Chains A and B, each alone.
Chain A
Amino acid sequence: MWLTKSSVGRKLIMSISGLFLILFLTFHMSMNLVAIISDEAYNGVCAFLGSNWYAVAGTAVLAAGVFVHFAFAIMLTLQNRRARGEQRYAVTENQPKVEWASQNMFVLGAIVILGLAVHLSHFWAHMMLPELVGSEELLLSDGVKTYAATDGAGLISYTFKNPVNVVIYVLWLCALWFHLTHGMWSAMQTLGANNNTWMPRWKMISNIFATVVCFGFIAVVIYGAIA
C-alpha cells in the first residue's frame, strides 16, 4: 500500500490525520466557548455528547486519529533519525528562515499528548467514562458534592480553581499553538495544495487559526479560574 510504504504516502497520512484533529479542535473549542456564555447551555452540550452512540463512535474515531497521527510521527521520526546518519554535526546554527516549531514538531506533539492525558483524566474520566462503564464511583467528588457526568461547567470551575492546573493547561496550549502554526500549513504543503502564492497565505491562515483556537481554549481556562 503506497500510503504506508512510500515517504509521501506516510506524510499524507500525517497530513490528513492532522487536518482531522484540527477539525476536531475547532469543534471542541467552539463548544467550550459556550461555557463562558452559559453554564446551563454548556451542560446541555455535555449531555448531548454524553455516552450516546454517535458521541462514543466519534470519540473512537478521534482516538484512532490521535493514535494514527502519533504512531506515524514515531515511525517517521525514527526513519528520519536513521536517514540523518550516525555522525552528527559538531556545529549547527539555526537559519532565521527555519521556524523553531518546524524543527521540534515531535517534541511539541509529545507535550500535546501528555497534556491530553492529563486533560482526559480531568474531564473524560469523570464524564463519558463513568457513563460507559456504568460506574458512579468514577464520578468526581470533592467531598462537598459529586459532579454529575454531564456537569461540564462544574468540572471546569473545579479543575481551574487549582492554579497548578491553570499553568499546566496554558503551557499545554502554548505547545499546541506552536504545533498548529507549523502543522496546518505543512499539512496543506504535503497535500500538494501549495505554491509560491499560497505559501504566505497558508502561513497566515495557520497563525490566525492557531491563535484563535488556543486563545479560545485559554479563555475558558481563565474563565474557569476566575468564576
Chain B
Amino acid sequence: MEKNINITLKVWRQRGPQEKGAFETHQLENISTESSFLEMLDVLNEKLVKGGQEPVVFDHDCREGICGMCSLYINGHPHGKDTEVTTCQLHMRRFNDGDTITIEPWRSAAFPVIRDLMVDRSAYDKIMQAGGYTSVNTGGIPDANAIPIPKTIADEAMDAASCIGCGACVAACKNGSAMLFVSAKVSQLALLPQGKVEAAKRVKAMIAKMDELGFGNCTNTRACEAECPKGVSISNIARLNREFICAKLKD
C-alpha cells in the first residue's frame, strides 16, 4: 500500500575522472513508496536546483528497464537489492522509513567515472565493434525462413540476447570481468546458424578486445549472474570458454 517515507541518502559526488570524489549526505522527506528510485532522485535534484546547487548526475533514459543506461550501485548491489530489475525499475517500496541509502557509481577500471554517478561504458561498444556482429551487408539476403532453427535454440539465443549492456556484471564482479556481457553476445550468435559461420573469428576478436581494455579474469563467482537485471546465465560463459578454446585449438 502507498505510504510516504523519510530517507537519508549518501550520494557519491565526483567532478571528473581524475578528481577525487566523496559522499554527500541528503535528507529526503515524504517520498511516496509508489515512486521509482529514479523519481526519488528527481526529487533530490529538484531540491538541489531550487537551492541553487548542481544536480547529481546519473545516466538514465528509457526508465522501463530496457535501454541499459541507468547504472547505480545501491546499498551494495548494482541496480539495488531487488532481483531482475534495473535501477529505473526499482521502487521505493523496497525501502523502509528511516533507511540510509548509499548510492555509488559502477566501480571498475574499465568504466571510469565521468561525473558523480555517471560512468564511461564505451569499452562495451569497443568489444562489440571487435566482432559482435554477423558480417552481412544490407540487402541480398535469402528468405528469413530459408534456414529453419529449432525453437529451443532460438529461445536460448533469445535469452542470451536479452542482455541490455548496462554493465552490472562488471560492477558486481570482484574481478571487474566482462565475461557475462561478452558471453551473451558470443552465445547468441554462436547458437544461430547465421552467426556460426564466423563464430571462431568472432570469439577470438571479442576476447582479445576485452583483455586489451583491462577487464579482469572470470573466477566463476556467479555474482554477475545473480545481479544481472535480465537474468543472463553463466552457462553462456561456459559456452564462450568452449568456443574460444576450440577456436584456438583449431588454429
Chain A bound to chain B: yes
Residues of A within 8 A of B (CB): 2, 5-12, 76, 79-80, 82-93, 95, 97-99, 102-103, 105, 182, 185-186, 189-196, 199
Interface status of B207 (Cβ within 8 A of chain A): yes
Find out whether the CB atom of A193 lies under 8 angstroms from the CB atom of B176.
Answer: no
Q: How many residues of B contact A (CB 8 A)?
A: 52
Q: Could you say which of B107, B218, B221, B244 has the most chain A C-beta atoms within 10 Å of its C-beta?
A: B221
Report chain B residues within 8 Å CB of A93.
75-77, 81
Given contacts A92-B76, A93-B75, A95-B77, whether A8 and B207 have CB atoms under 8 Å apart is yes
What residues on A are CB-neighbors of B217 within 8 Å?
A: 7, 10-11, 76, 79-80, 83
B102 interface residue (CB < 8 Å to A): yes
CB distance from B228 to the nearest CB of A (A): 11
What CA separation (Å) do A225 and B162 show in the bound complex? 57
Do B225 and A80 have beta carbons less than 8 Å apart?
no
How close is B220's CB to chain A, nearest CB, in angstroms? 4
- Whether B216 and A192, one on each chain, are in contact in the complex, defined by CB atoms closer than 8 angstroms, is no
Chain A residues with CB below 8 A from B251, complex form: 2
Please tell me if the beta carbons of A11 and B221 are within 8 angstroms of each other in the complex: no
Give me 20 A-to-B residue pairs in the complex whose CB atoms sit less than 8 angstroms apart, sorted by A's number: A6-B211, A6-B244, A7-B216, A79-B217, A80-B174, A83-B217, A84-B174, A85-B109, A89-B76, A90-B102, A93-B77, A95-B223, A99-B222, A189-B234, A189-B237, A190-B241, A192-B246, A193-B242, A194-B238, A195-B239
Q: Is the CB of B210 within 8 A of A98?
A: no
Q: Are B222 and A97 in contact (CB under 8 A)?
A: yes
User: Are A90 and B248 in contact, CB atoms less than 8 angstroms apart?
Assistant: no
Residues of chain B within 8 A (CB-CB) of A90 are 10, 23, 102, 104
- Chain A: which residue is nearest B227 at the CB level? A95
B contact face: mostly helix, strand, loop, or mixed: mixed
Partner of B238, one of A87, A89, A195: A195
Cα distance, A15 to B243, chains bound together (Å): 16
Contact B176 A80 (CB under 8 A): yes
Mark out the residues of chain B between 229 and 251 whose CB falls within 8 Å of any chain A CB in the assembled complex: 233-235, 237-246, 248, 251
Q: Is the CB of B175 within 8 A of A89?
A: no
Per-residue contact bits, chain B 60-93, to A (CB 8 Å; 1 contact, 0 not) = 0000000000000101110001000000000000
A95 and B81 alpha carbons, distance in the complex (Å): 9
Whether a CB of chain A sits under 8 angstroms from the CB of B219 is yes
- Once the chains bind, are A88 and B174 in contact (CB under 8 Å)? no
Please, which residues of chain B bring their CB within 8 A of the CB of A8? 207, 240-241, 244-245
Say whether B207 contacts A7, CB under 8 Å. Answer: yes
Contacts of A98 in B (CB 8 A): 221-223, 226
Instruction: Flag whether B48 is at the interface (Cβ < 8 A).
Output: no
B175 engages A80 (CB within 8 Å): yes
A89 touches B104 (CB 8 A): yes
B110 at the interface (CB under 8 A from A): yes
Contact of B214 among A83, A97, A196 (CB under 8 A): A83
Please indicate the chain A residues that have their CB under 8 angstroms from the CB of B188 in the complex: none
Contacts of B226 in A (CB 8 A): 95, 97-98
